[in-house]
Amino acid sequence: NEINKCNIINEAIIHTGQHYDKSMSEFFFVNFKKKIKLINLNINNLNHSEMIAKMIIKLSKIFEKIKPNLVLLYGDTNSTLAGALTASKHKMPIAHVEGGLRNFDLSIPEDVNRIITDRISNLIFYSTKVAKRNLLSEGFRKFPCKLVKTDDLLSDSVYGNINYARKKSTILDQLKLNNAKQKFILLTIHRDKSLNRKNLANIFNAINIIAKKILVIFPIHPNSSKKLKKQKVQLSGNILKIPPVNYTDMLKLLDACENVITDSGGLQREAYILKKKSLLVLDYTPWEELVKSKCAVT
């Protein structure tokens, strides 16, 4: 929205399709106050290598056509890495939002995406002291890039949409809970490491025990749904599986829940912003501050 206020900037948004479920992505493209130029590559449901390769091919053609003065990339997804590699090969300046985050585990695809994107970026926006420490320890002081401190941009999204979610979302009514004040835990599980055969069974053995004492609402990622079925993981009857929800409904669920169980980097931060504590299904979180302040536990 701030970019849209500046008439000298012509912005084009490229949606690779990596988050292809309509309910998970459409909200962000229909709620801008000003019409934007949106390019959808419709690339999804492929393995990591195929997905990134296809993105690079399509992005290369788009960059050749529109010739951007700056490629602005967010986070740690395959789309982020593909955008960085393509822009680098076309000698276009790269800016990376959420730079410096590290899991220190190269078996995690997101960590590889972050490290490579940071290394070839010209401008890195970081939001925590830990992120800056990571960048400096990797030698970024000597690299030809600029480091810029910002607040966590996710807070803008939460604060900008939470009142709308509180007033307009009907997700709790749709779920037909026993009563309007029924307590529940909000659960999300989607990372590759969580979904392998050994971890997935262990995770839900533990969550099934928790569900004996409190309702668990589980908006289920399409890939998680496939893995649960394939591995024949049994879920407690007190785990309420629901389809993926849009951002407004997710904020409403987060605002109403008691606590959060997640392996999501974004949800653990949104939970902190809305003063909810999280149990993280992660060996380590790059958001160390949440654990140190006892707002989250791993």
Residues 285/288/290/294 CA torsion (nearest 10 deg): 100
Cα gap 23→198, rounded to integer Å: 29
The three-point CA angle 285-75-20 to 5° equals: 110
User: Exactly one of 15, 19, 96, 190 is catalytic; which is it?
Assistant: 190
- Structure-token pair, residue 57: 């091919």
For residues 15 and 29, what is the distance between their CA atoms, to the nearest angstrom?
A: 9
Q: What whole-number distance in Å separates Cα of residue 207 and Cα of residue 41?
A: 37
Helix axes 109-119, 78-89, angle to 10 degrees: 30
Element (H, E) at 204: helix 197-210
Q: Measured at the alpha carbon of residue 135, what is the angle toward residues 291 and 142, in degrees to the nearest 5?
A: 165
The verdict on whether 190 is a catalytic residue reads yes
Question: In which residue are the tokens 């668990």 written?
Answer: 216
Q: Are the beta carbons of 283 and 298 closer than 8 angstroms?
A: yes
Cβ-based burial of 116 (10 A; exposed 0-12, middle 13-18, buried ≥19): middle
CA of 214: how far to CAs of 157, 171, 211, 224, 240, in Å?
29, 19, 5, 22, 11
Catalytic residues: 190
